[in-house]
Amino acid sequence: MTDTTLPPEGEAHDRIEPVDIQQEMQRSYIDYAMSVIVGRALPEVRDGLKPVHRRVLYAMYDSGFRPDRSHAKSARSVAETMGNYHPHGDASIYDTLVRMAQPWSLRYPLVDGQGNFGSPGNDPPAAMRYTEARLTPLAMEMLREIDEETVDFIPNYDGRVQEPTVLPSRFPNLLANGSGGIAVGMATNIPPHNLGELAEAVYWCLENYEADEEATCEAVMERVKGPDFPTSGLIVGTQGIEDTYKTGRGSIKMRGVVEIEEDSRGRTSIVITELPYQVNHDNFITSIAEQVRDGKLAGISNIEDQSSDRVGLRIVVELKRDAVAKVVLNNLYKHTQLQTSFGANMLSIVDGVPRTLRLDQLIRLYVDHQLDVIVRRTRYRLRKANERAHILRGLVKALDALDEVIALILVALATGRAGDITLDDLHRPETFFKTFTQTGCTRVQFFEYKQSTLSFGEGTRTGCLSMNS
């Protein structure tokens, strides 16, 4: 080990500041941990998205890859996301896009994929240059009215464009699709739920906004019966659900759906038609085969995967003639992922801080976000209506002196000083004169007085409605 040689005294030497390595490591690791927690691994409570998911959706929306248009190559969506909002590897961005298109991963997919997007087993998706994607109609609800100043925007990584800090999210995506992620020193695992049940719970919270926490918790639990996993399956018992909803943490036991069948030859089989959420069916079959070979599972003669797009999942476990079906089934529950647990931990980012929340708190925070979106949208529409009414008011007044207005416009155009002349003599603000000069003399001559007055009346009514809503 050699001694570190410091540079000679001078300008460079003066810039060196000795620090305690323990304190520096602690401070730097905390900074790294918070960056991972807030900026990568945990979802935002308002829209249920991590930054990469939000950026992919907004990039696709901004690029026009929408449900009313044709699919576009996935590589284009990845490039738009990486170039404008997410300066990281293209592989992670494409993995994010693929997962949002898989109906076995998300209860309500946000990306409409065309091509090979993988399978619930070990089949990988095709490369991004082959697959195509666009937003689903439900994803458009995540972005609806985002152009009406309903959410805050911040500069992107290089300051060229703006990106949203959160999406309007007109449905509770965090609870509808769930979320999972491992941060530094903490992790989140939120189960997906049925959107109809969530809508009833949100409606109750809106109608009973002043209700206390106990009443709210009881009411939402009456309406949201439990998780609704995209791969179906069964939930065993209700204690895990109650713990999760009341404390934010719980263990929910899941089982696959099985049927015991007997063929014409008298041979008994256990047919599995649904597996627990996040269980890879290829690995599941491999696990059974390995345990049969090692002697841990007795009574099984053969395993056959009969799954297809037409019949869905169908795994047939053929039993030996002397095997008891119930005993074999119980052993499958015990030794394989035919029965497993979902360790729920409803952790999300609230005002920049990670918090574990109960079900009623998650819904309350979503309702507050929607109220804020509606207020901001109303203010935006009111301002636009007032600006429109201001223009129309001037047009209506100017039409009363149309001959003088046209004469001023002709003089301005002839002298090339259209931007310098105002309508002070006619007591008209400069804004209206600019409107006329931008419109052009021909359109002014054919402008109908009745149409202008009707538009003005409609504009003022819109402003009043916006102000009262």
Helices in 128-212 by DSSP H: which ranges?
137-143, 173-177, 195-207
406-421: pLDDT as tens digits: 777 777 667 765 555 4
The pTM of the full predicted model, rounded to 2 decimals, is: 0.85
Instruction: Give CA–CA dist 240/133, Å, rounded.
Output: 37
**Strand pairing partners for 259?**
271
Look-up of token digits 């999760």:
244
In this predicted model, what pLDDT tens digit does every residue of 279-296 receive, in sequence order?
Answer: 999 999 999 999 999 999
Q: Mean per-residue pLDDT for 161-166?
A: 98
Q: What are phi and psi of 40, to 5 degrees?
A: -145, -50
- Of 29, 61, 108, 130, which residue is the catalytic one? 130
Question: How distant, in Å, are the alpha carbons of 158, 278, 289, 390 from that of 87?
Answer: 10, 29, 44, 44
Q: Which two tokens stand for residue 388?
A: 């429109």
CATH architecture of 49-168: Alpha-Beta Complex (3.90)
> Residue ranges of the domains in the chain?
49-168, 187-253+344-367, 257-337, 380-468
**Which amino acid would we find at residue 64?**
G
Residue 130 annotated to the active site: yes
pLDDT band at residue 441 using 50, 70 and 90 as cut-offs: very low
The rounded distance, in Å, linking the Cα atoms of 161 and 236 is 49
For residue 217, what are the contacts with CB-CB under 8 A and spacing of at least 6?
A: 245, 246, 358, 359, 360
> Sorting pLDDT into bands at 50, 70 and 90, what band is 16?
confident
Query: What CA–CA distance (Å, rounded) separates 62 from 43?
Result: 22
Pairwise CA distance, residues 370 & 141, whole Å: 12
Using alpha carbons, select from 79, 104, 98, 88 the residue that is nearest to residue 51: 88
Q: What is the pLDDT of residue 8?
A: 63
pLDDT at residue 18, as a whole number: 87
Nearest to 231 by CA among 297, 167, 279: 279
Q: Which of 44, 88, 42 is nearest to 183 (CA)?
A: 42
Per-residue pLDDT reduced to its tens digit, 365-380: 999 999 999 999 999 9
Q: What angle do CA 229, 231, 235 make, to 5 degrees?
A: 50
User: Domain 257-337, what fold?
Assistant: Gyrase A; domain 2 (3.30.1360)
pLDDT, averaged across the chain: 88
Better-predicted residue by pLDDT, 8 or 323: 323
DSSP 236-275: E-SHHHHHHHHHSEEEEEEE-EEEEEE-TTS-EEEEEEE-
Give the residue with greater pLDDT, 32 vs 229. 229
Q: 131-135, 203-207, 388-392, 459-463: which range is least confident on average?
A: 459-463
Residue 428 predicted with pLDDT over 70: no
Between 37 and 255, the more confident residue is: 255
